[in-house]
Chain A
Amino acid sequence: MMRTTARQRVRTRRTLATGAVTLTAALALAACGGGTTPEEVAGGGGAPEGAGEFTGEYDGPDVELSYWNGFTGGDGPFMQDLVDQFNEEHPNITVVPNTIQWADFYQRVPAAVNAGEGPDVGVMHLDQLATNAARSVIVPLDDVAEALEISEDDFSEEVWNAGIYDDQRYGIPLDVHSLAMFYNTEHFEAAGITEPPTDSESFMAALDALQAAGYQQPFWMPARWPGHLMFLSLLWQNGGEPYAEDGSEATFGSAEGVEALEWMRGIVDAGYSPSDVAQDSQYVAFKNGETSITWDGIWQINDLEASGLPYALAPIPAIFDEQLMWANSHQFFMTKQATQDENKYEAARVFIAWMSEQSADWAGAAMIPARESIREDAVAGMPQEPIANLLDNVRFLPPVPGIGTVQTETLEQAVANAILGQEEPQAALESAEERATELMEENLESFGG
């Protein structure tokens, strides 16, 4: 009985975008078997007509939403507070959060959604949206964006466009988080540096001043994370692009890229960094006051605050032509699973809308709220304020399905090899670029149809 009603609903709901319609009966069956309780089935008959009209309110029967995210760090408690607050304000919607490390998140979500045991709504990084859209794990949210009256005006162009894949919107932005330059204020004081460096000249001068003040290795160069993010920032600064927008080829091995990677390796050769900086050790060294400057994500702010280290942060200096920096964004998504139950679908829309509006509180998690109307007040006086004013200078990876894996399989290893001195930057980038293009061509083929 439930099976037929679910299928009819799917069929009748014209407002739902194409992704949902491709659902197989088997999946509907699985979802009904696993995700819906008898009470919901019984109450399901009284669902409001015309799901297309979105009022921001949900007055249907009690419904439970499974909400997955990867906020395992200092951002976790802030998200939990928001969820608690939402549950309190919406007695007929119960949001059940499930927090999974980001590293495992992108592996589990497609599997779980395919099995009908996954989330209804969730948050993912924008560079993963295209991949999951192409795999039809997530569904378009154009109608939600429209109904929420959130539009380009309230977001910087970069952030807003980043959620679009194949002319459809798949993500509603929650925040932006970028790479930033963290520095030890005590070391800077001792070295007589009054202003954080903003360009190549002042940055190198600062490194020399720090060395003169006795900080022999002021800028540790990590081979792994976030080394490739530093490389991407420098590549963009130098006028290069890592990947073709249409996903047809990798271009990070360009002359601009080689120059960027040579600069990074040069920091080691010049003795500003020890060699062989393994994963995380540059951050631990910074926290212990062993090194003076580190480039890392603004999500580290809460951890550094808790450590009591005298630090401050500034935008990444313009080592090359333009002051640009790598960034990513957390975006809300809805899975095809939620679209199989009208009530869940409605409730999910209410949840996403509400969360998007509350994103001011999210600034406490050391992120930059995506909405412009909120941002300025939200970050005033917060450590991430200097970055928040430079949102036009952030760059995202293009929305190409499968780009995440391409990057870990190629670019990250080339950067590691070059910084460790195992390969010349040019040779490392060239072979990685070749392999990346190969992978991207394969991806185009698998996702193309």
Chain B
Amino acid sequence: MSQTRVAAPGDTVDAVRRDQRASRRGVAKHGKVTPWLFLLPYLVLFIGFVLLPIVLGLWISLHRWDYTLPGKPFVGLENYQDLFDSGSGIYSIFWNSMKATGIFTVASVPLLLVLPLLVALVMNRKFPGRNLFRAVYFAPYVLGVAVVGVLWRYLLDANIGLVNHYLGALGLPGDTAWLTSTPAVWVALVGVTVWWTMGYNSVIYLAALQDIPKELYEAARVDGASRWQQFVNVTFPGLRPVLAFITMITIIASANMFGQSYLMTQGGPGRETRTAIYQIAETGLRNFSMGDAAAMSYVLTAFLMVLSVLVFWLFRERRS
């Protein structure tokens, strides 16, 4: 693939010929290895931390696998059957956690797609203090989930938290149990997550906005397009490739939500906010039922794969 080299301006014809001759002798042979050498570091990580775990996980999901016990009996598809058999103990636990993940994803993804776009549109304009505001919106994203979780756990506490205190001071209802009652707990979890991760999506939107050629807007203005028409006909199509990417990563990030409910609600009030990942971690790492946990992971993965295909289909290039 690297055998022929594009002539750079200033190269003499002779030099290019010499190059080609040299490549025919030396680089050709050596060239077959070169790409692999470049890929090697990534491949090692990919095989070690992605490919092998995928295969091993599949293998584990076919066993009753407790790595601290000597026997790991093969059970075939029993772990999967249990997940789909409403009579088994794990059925409702697993599907409730999937439901929690579903609620969270449905509630948070639209907000995480729209709000950052609005922020990016504002940040793309010229106004004094723009850089400061850009930093302010991005700042929460640099915090770890532990910091965010513990911080908001205290802020949102129904009885000793600042949020309720100030709501009360403003004459609003100050006794909402943000962390211990549904549906308030979902408002809290989604709100905190939007506050926390909005900056990341905004930055990507902002970069995409700056990539849209100014000439297109000029042309649109010349044609007499209004602000809204400019957005619909210039900005939005320009954002489409990025939009597909942001939608995908936001869905995956929301479907993988764990830390916020682990730290802020402990899955509570009872186990309503135990997400799928939370349940998988509890089952596999605390209860040592690695087989069940692996089977759950694969079911979750299947869901996410279907969802990804759907998103790609939605955002596909439409030929008219």
Contacts and interface: CB of A to CB of B under 8 A. Distances in A.
Contact of B159 (A114, A281, A409, A417): A281
Contact of A446 (B69, B158, B181, B286): B69
Contact of A417 (B69, B177, B270, B288): B270
B285 interface: yes
A307 interface: no
Interface stretch (B11-19, B60-68, B199-207): B60-68
Contacts of B71: 449
A340 B269 CA distance: 46
A135 B270 contact: no
Contacts of B271: 413
A279 interface: yes
Contacts of B26: none
A290 B269 CA distance: 23
B287 interface: yes
B296 interface: no
A435 B180 CA distance: 23
Residue among B71, B179, B265, B270 with max Cβ neighbours from chain A (10 Å)? B270
Contacts of B102: none
B115 to A, nearest CB: 27
Residue among A106, A278, A446 with max Cβ neighbours from chain B (10 Å)? A278
Contact of A278 (B64, B66, B67, B180): B180
Interface in A253-309: 274-281, 284-285, 288, 290
Interface in A188-245: 220, 223-224
B70 A278 contact: no
Contacts of A435: 89
A391 interface: no
Interface string A108-145: 00110010000000000000000000011100000000
A438 B89 contact: yes
A413 B270 contact: yes
A107 interface: yes
Contact of B269 (A220, A274, A409, A422): A422
B235 interface: no
A435 B287 CA distance: 15
Given A110-B288, A224-B268, A137 B68 contact: yes
Residue among A135, A137, A279, A442 with max Cβ neighbours from chain B (10 Å)? A279
Interface in A158-193: none
Given A285-B160, A446-B66, 5 more contacts: A114-B67, A135-B288, A278-B179, A405-B286, A438-B89
9 contacts: A106-B286, A135-B69, A220-B159, A279-B266, A405-B286, A420-B181, A422-B269, A422-B270, A449-B71
